Amino acid sequence: MSVDSPVTPRPAATVLLLRDTPAGLEVFLQHRVRAMAFASNMHVFPGGGVDERDRANGVDWVGPSPAEWAERLGQPEELSRALVCAAVRETFEECGVLLAGGPDGPLTPSANELARARSELVDQRASLAEVLSRRGWSLRTDLLHAWSNWITPEVEPRRYDTVFFLAELPDGQQADDRTSEVRSAGWRRPGDAAEDGQAGRILLMPPTSVSLRQLADFPDVAAALRASEARPITPFIPRARRDGNRMLVELPENEGIIAVPLPPRKPKQAKRGLLPGRPEHPLYEKPRQVTPTASVLLADNPGPMTLEGTNTWLLRGPDSERFIVIDPGYEEEGHLRLIAEQGPVAQILLTHRHDDHAQGARRLAELTGAPVRALDPSLVLGDEGLGEGAVVAAAGVELRVLATPGHTSDSLCFLLDDAVLTGDTVLGRGTTVIDHPDGKLGEYLDSLRRLAELPPGVAVLPGHGPELADAGVIAREYLAHREERLDQIRAALRDLGPDATARQIVELVYADVDQILWPAAEWSVEAQLTYLRTPT
């Protein structure tokens, strides 16, 4: 891909969730955390990009068919189906509202059942189709009403082709802020929120600002939904230019120009001394050089478990045309083709078997002809596997394989002279989940002790998050954190009794953690309980 060519926009969907109140029409807004790669610190509607799970067939529909949505949106039927599924999935993941129906009409599950279904989507254990079909639920496409279609301007490094939908909050459901992507969330009158944006009290992207202004004209939900039926859905790419700390944006349908306040520019700072002056994490769609031999191509799959997305690492010596790929990520065609465009691939190496690292390996092998090497024999294609002490010499670099089980039984790290590629054994921020029962805490602690013995200055090139300057320092910090957690588990067992369940302990020890991450926390607690209860 040419550096100067516009990035292809990713299909996306967002939902303007509405409700009636005595004070008038209200819309649900989320205040995104500053750490998010896209729309950091902005107030937004729930939504996000289409992913491969949204393209799965087998969803039981009630309401307009995919073909009818294709006609309404002016898009191919397959993409229209995926956009509708993405709208429903993202709304459920991000605020807990599920636009679905039960076998006898309205959806009436318990709060616990909704929470379990939501966690399956968030940690990507199931597609929306699977979540619904397992419970006999149907996707209610009649609850969605197309409103507009905005495409990010071509000058932006991260672009979306987003369909905006309206939906009324279903009876008996509550929208919440239980997602790690937002600082807070709540209901606002559209006109009040638009005024706050114009005054700079909150930050709004142009499509959000315009949508709020449009909704402010309606007295209630019914009026807004009626108006949506008559609106043409025409893709619109706004023309915008920065004017100091505001963006001047041309509005659709010749409605004029609005000024959207922006946060002041901040000077760039190098990350912990790795190649000062180079672009920082996160950078999507383009390789980013991190060390003299390692660059990273960040996959656009952000989430609570993947942070800003999966880091696909490209290793290449100074005089080599070929390169080694570490962890191609999900089977996402755009990302895999972008990897293949970087040149001839010598080998594809996998740190472990999880889909967000390994699922796309077979397809990348088809695109490039390169062998796939891993510890798990089921993942190996066209070459020998990998194991402790193996040396991989290719593409002008040499790396040594370290067996580092714990996160999973097949976890590997790859050691270069100046860096170690850690997969999920060490992350760029936060801590690692033990995938119990396959992953074992005792083995993980041993792996951390091994990394803690690396020489000073060996950088961490993780599977998720930004690079870190010193693997030994970080590994020792991880060990201290694990010991602290174990002490908390021991204390919880004293308070709750020796037979306390993992869930009971999570509710006590992880009370300060977003509840949407509690299922993952339960895995780690199960691993810690097994470790503490196993005789030494």
Q: Catalytic residue positions?
A: 356
Q: How far is it, in rounded angstroms, from Cα 178 to Cα 451?
A: 34
3-class SS string, 349-418? ECCCCCHHHHCCHHHHHHHHCCCEECCCHHHCECCCCCCCCCEEEECCEEEEEEECCCCCCCCEEEECCC
Pairing verdict, β 47-49 and 43-44: unpaired
What amino acid is encoded at 203 in this protein?
L
**12, 160 Cβ separation under 8 angstroms:** yes
Cα(322)–Cα(374) distance, integer angstroms: 20
CA distance 119 to 110: 14
* Cα of 170 vs its chain's centroid, Å: 26
Spell out the residues 6+ positions from residue 116 whose beta carbon is closer than 8 angstroms to its own.
none
Its sign, for the CA torsion 338, 342, 343, 349, is: negative
| Residue 304, preceding peptide bond in cis (omega within 30° of 0) | no
If DSSP states are collapsed to H, E and C, what string results for 116-148? HHHHHHHCCCCCHHHHHHHHCCEEEHHHCEEEE
Q: Which of 37, 91, 112 has the alpha carbon at shortest distance from 519?
A: 112
Residue pair 6/159 in contact by the 8 Å Cβ criterion: yes
428 DSSP 8-state letter: S
